[in-house]
Structure 1
Amino acid sequence: MTVRYQRICAWAGPFCAFLWIIALLVFAGFLPPHDPQAGADEIARIYADNPLGIRIGLVILLIGGVLYQPWVAVIAVQMKRIEGRQSPLTYVQLGLGTLFVLLFVLAAIFWEVAAFRPLEAPVLTQRFNDLGWFMFLVSVPIITVQGLALSLVVFQDRDGALFPRWFAWFNIWAQIIFLPGTLIPLFKSGPLAWNGLFAFWIPAGVYTVWMCLLTALLLRAIAAPDPVNMRPDGQLR
């Protein structure tokens, strides 16, 4: 049953990403992202023209955000198999992944507030829309440190019993690709704006590949026996 639950948690990652795409693309129409230079009246009209679709989409987005937590939890379980009883990096990854869930949920809530009464105060609608995009995309350092913690643990498993060593390097590269999102508050146009090539589209593509690849490796690790170089006290030799 434990293995079965771990597999369910591993599949929760791609499923939550699928829900994000359905929510933002199909229902809310938030892909491509809103223009950061759009005025308050324009943003308010976007929300007013599709009130039901946006509200349903954001409910789906909220559910998808919560489902990120089981995925983070099963990553922690596999990391702890490598780190053993003394596992600070495992808890770093788990804690930051949990924080990301909270920020993701808050982004959905901010957008829901914007969609609730979009035309009564267009400036407030615009501000809550901004808050949603900032919360959704600017919190990149959380993912970066979470990913670095995973890579450092994978490097400890020299035999690659649970995760191959090359994935640790790929993971570091992916975190570097995500970092331009931290510069979003400095730009309203161009490749580093929240709808830009370097701040959104390339990181979004890499994130999709990273999540699918990590899920496949998680399923492999779940089925694998403990590393042969593990001591009886749970530490790697």
Structure 2
Amino acid sequence: MDVNMDVKLKFRLYRFSVWCGVAVAVANTLAFSVIGKLTPPVAPTDNAATVAQFMSDHRSGILWAVVLMGLVVPLFYPFAVITSLQMRRIEGGWGLLSMVQLTTGVVAPTGWLYPLAVLATAAYRPDRSPELIRLLSDQFWLTYVGVAVIFVVNVGSIGVAALIDRSPKPVFPRWFGWINIVLAVVFLPGVFVYVVTDGPFAWDGAYALYGPTIAFVVWKIAMIVVLLRAVKSEERETLEQSQAVPVEA
């Protein structure tokens, strides 16, 4: 009886970890599009006065958006961990793919919070020199969009794990593996923001910003659905195994 109660608690925590990913996705949407009004972003070609005016006009929203993300983004950690725990089932223990996913997943919160701290610095003092405000704005967008390339490895490792699973009841469905491979490629163009100031590969462009943004939403929805199913299947297997163990006299 005690074992069953422990198992139920364990999988409640697992499900909570999956839903943490939903909280992060919702907070990210609210922070950038509703509260901070950062979409569409300032353009790389905007002059210092335009960028400074944008920061002044959206100062309160930007600062509160950073506060919201600061409170919610740490929830990405349990989401990253539960993802690796499910990949661990595929590898039969901690292996290369599950560890790669975990280590790159750990970087994700920093990839959000550090650039946002820079953005908050830009908006914090509206009387600062417009040139300095633009400098900080440049650092935010170059870092925020550019580091998305880390997700290429993160999402790719999940895709490979799904595709190599040959068990009778795979942890992740095969179609999910292919989706992750495709989305990993979509995340790649963000790295080119460092060498262009205009066009689809700029930080406000279709390939660097909007493509990865849409890919992230699609990935997050697919991850939630698949992870909940994976946790449910693991719980069922664990309960079946515990019931199959003979009781000692």
Counterpart of 1:94, as a letter, is L
Spell out the pairing of 1:72-221 with structure 2 (5 A cutoff): 72-158=80-166, 159-221=168-230
- 58-67 or 140-149, larger mean C-alpha shift: 58-67
Tell me, in whole angstroms, the C-alpha distance in 1 between the residues paired with 2:136 and 2:92.
44
Tell me, in whole angstroms, the C-alpha distance in 2 between the residues paired with 1:107 and 1:49.
20
Structure 1 residue 160: Cα displacement: 4.6
Structure-1-length-normalised TM-score: 0.90
Structure 2 unaligned spans of 5+ = 1-8, 238-249
Give the direction of change, closer, same or farther, for the CA distance of 1:93–1:166 in structure 2 (3 Å limit). Answer: same
1:62 is aligned to 2:59: no
Tell me, in whole angstroms, the C-alpha distance in 2 between the residues paired with 1:214 and 1:191.
27
Counterpart of 1:146, as a letter, is N
Structure 1 unaligned spans of 5+ = 229-237
Query: Secondary structure, in 3 states, of the residue corresponding to 1:67?
Result: helix
Tell me, in whole angstroms, the C-alpha distance in 2 between the residues paired with 1:122 and 1:212.
39
- Which structure has the larger Rg over C-alpha atoms? 2
Give the direction of change, closer, same or farther, for the CA distance of 1:149–1:36 in structure 2 (3 Å limit). Answer: same
Residue by residue over 1:129-183, the C-alpha shift from the partner in whole angstroms, topping out at 9 and shown as x without a partner, is: 1111122111133111111211222223223521011211111001111111111
Counterpart in 1 of 2:51? 43
Tell me, in whole angstroms, the C-alpha distance in 2 between the residues paired with 1:7 and 1:201.
30
Q: Which has the higher helix share?
A: 2
Counterpart of 1:32, as a letter, is P
CA contact (8 A) 2:11 2:235 kept: no
Give the direction of change, closer, same or farther, for the CA distance of 1:29–1:192 in structure 2 (3 Å limit). Answer: same
Tell me, in whole angstroms, the C-alpha distance in 1 between the residues paired with 2:169 and 2:140.
40
Structure 1 residue 225: Cα displacement: 3.4
Structure-2-length-normalised TM-score: 0.86
How many residue pairs get aligned? The number is: 229
Identity of aligned residues (%): 29
Coordinate RMSD, CA, aligned: 1.9
